[in-house]
Structure 1
Amino acid sequence: MTLFTILDGGMGRELERRGAPFKQPEWSALALMEAPNIVKEVHQSYIASGSRVITTNSYALVPFHIGEKTFKERGRELAMLSGKVAREAADESGTGTKVAGSLAPLFGSYRADLYQADQVEELATPLIESLNPYVDLWLSETQSLIDETSRVKALVDKIDSDHKPFWVAFTLEDSETTKEPLLRSGETVVDAVKAMLDIGVDAILFNCSQPEIIGEAIQVTKQTLSSMNANQIQIGAYANAFPPQPKNATANDGLDEIREDLTPPAYLSWVEQWVKDGATLIGGCCGIGPEHIAVMEEFNQANS
């Protein structure tokens, strides 16, 4: 029995490293449009490194990245393609790897201030409907505020008749000076955990944040779930390799520098601590690549 389930790492940086078309504002969506074969290669690389959950390359398929016109004309087609490519990579590997349908923040990463509740259904529905035939579970990731996740979960419940598992990954305020871990909206992790329990999620993760911040959030989540007799909900983490981001930052606004200190062995030291704190779902976000996943797989196998 392995210690934890290994997720994949970041998609965008790996696409760029492999020479895929890659620029703003389309970000990782551009490769899906012009070179889906390279997207599949990235999925295959993560699986070969040890990932047993890979995430569809649908993160940037929102108007914030591809524009309203492209979203209306090609959103469904591109979301279906992202699901198909990931499904093929998983099935062809013969490893039992599962596919997580990425449901990104609909109004821009880190930007709780741009949230428009009345547009959630219009933007999320075509993505959910298009990914649904291809995925084994849902991953609402890099979420900055509670309400968006709750509304997206309600739509998934309505559309997905199979009731596949629903995971949510929150992104955290980078400041280490706050008294308790906060979402980028300013909402507390405790309140987020309680709200997620109410809507029936299967896992609570933290992503696209510095590893230094994530550990405390895992501890708080574990304590809160235990106090509510909800230990069946899994906890997870997949950090990014960015330096601290200012409050007005937008993830992927430019091509952010990557920390040189988060080598695979250095990242593994954080993973080991997260496992001790109770995490059972672990991968990587922006800047964390197949080489990091391979080290996690070695650790997992050595300690199983």
Structure 2
Amino acid sequence: MNSLTILDGGMGRELKRMGAPFRQPEWSALALIEAPSFVLDVHSAYVKAGADIITTNSYALVPFHIGDARFESDGEMLADRAGKLARQAANRSGRSVRVAASLPPLFGSYRPDLFNAEDASRLLAPLVKGLSDHADLWLAETLSATQEAEVVANMLAKDGRPLWISFTLEDGAPDAAARARLRSGEAIEAAVALCLEHGVAAVLFNCSQPEVMEAAARQAKAAMDAAGRSIPIGVYANAFPPQPKEATANETLLPIREDLDPAGYLNWVRIWLDAGADIIGGCCGIGPEHIEAIARLRS
């Protein structure tokens, strides 16, 4: 199990659990704005739990959460702050911990229908600039469509650092556990082909039900085998029930499934590893206790 790379877990719920300022619409960005020490504490908790990679708290730094005016005036500064906090936690860990710069969906999670290619690069630019000094790698996450991924890949084509791209999956369809697809309806094979074409260093799947991740990992591996190529595959699932197709993630704080305690989540982790995953972590509702359970697999 030495080849397993362990990501951290969710940020927003952990901030709320620690008592940080937390509300809509700012979500996890509120603590970054008003009480950044809580963000550092969450990063440190994941490092202590055994994460090899911690993810910057930049997911909510988009107009959907912080508003157009604040994004315009403070987006780059807040991204820089998010990067500094993650780097501080990594540097004081006493071991090798990498910082993944989170690049979020720019127009709302789970909503490929809202994607605007003309505005995407403009919104992405201040996040990239603010995070750049602190990142070991880039993690474009919770992307619902290949066109979202292509914008990121093109912007970072000459950066030189690894780019990981993570897609969110349909998880409410009757056949979703047998045949995974992106929330746009696109095939996993199309996502893998885009990643291979752009030299992406890892393809991941996140913020979806555990039940759909095995099929996605197996389809991704099969697509790579067919192309004669291989890059790492990652999985980090969420712990809340499936949402309606028209829902936008982070609209409200959803209940957590009782069966996805650390032991329950670990059962899924073993399935994903068997399906070919090399990178494992957690998304919404998955906390340090889950990451600690995953880390024990290496002991």
Q: TM-score range by the shorter chain?
A: over 0.9
Q: Deviations over 1:144-200 (max 9, x none)?
A: 000111111111224x3xx10000110000135236211111111111111111111
One-letter amino acid of the structure 1 residue matched with residue 30 of structure 2? L
Who is 1:203 aligned against?
Answer: 202
Alignment of 1:155-234 (within 5 A): 155-158=155-158, 160=159, 163-178=160-175, 180-231=179-230, 233-234=231-232
User: Residue 64 of structure 1 contacts residue 108 of structure 1 at CA under 8 Å; is this kept in 2?
Assistant: yes
Q: Quick check: 1:137 aligned with 2:137? A: yes
- The separation in 2 between residues aligned to 1:94 and 1:117, in whole angstroms, is 42
If the length of structure 2 is used for normalisation, what is the TM-score?
0.98
Report what 1:287 is aligned to: 285
Contact 1:3 1:300 in 2 (8 A): no
Identity %: 54
Distance 1:177 1:274 in 2: 20
Q: CA RMSD in A?
A: 1.0
> What is the aligned partner in structure 2 of residue 255 from structure 1?
253
Structural mapping, 1:118-137, within 5 Å: 118-137=118-137
C-alpha deviation, 1:4, in angstroms: 0.7
Does the aligned pair in 2 maintain the 1:40–1:86 contact within 8 Å? yes
Moved more, 172-181 or 107-116: 172-181
Give the TM-score, by structure 1 length. Answer: 0.96
| 1:176–1:213 Cα contact (<8 Å) kept | no
In structure 2, the residue matched to 1:300 is 298
Deviations 1:171-230 (A, max 9, x none): 000135236211111111111111111111010000000000111000000000011111
Distance across 2 between alignment mates of 1:276 and 1:117: 37
In 2, Cα distance between the equivalents of 1:7 and 1:300? 14
Which blocks of at least 5 consecutive residues in structure 1 are unaligned?
A: none
Report how far residue 55 of structure 1 moved: 0.1
- Counterpart of 2:233 in structure 1 is 235
Deviation digits for residues 71-105 of structure 1, max 9, x if unmatched?
01100110000000000000111211000000000
Partner of 1:82: 82
Instruction: Write the letter of the residue equivalent to 2:198.
Output: I
C-alpha separation in 1, matches of 2:194 and 2:78: 31
Contact 1:143 1:149 (8 Å CA) reproduced: yes
Q: Which runs of 5+ in 2 are unaligned?
A: none
Q: Which piece of structure 1 moves more, 234-243 or 149-158?
A: 149-158
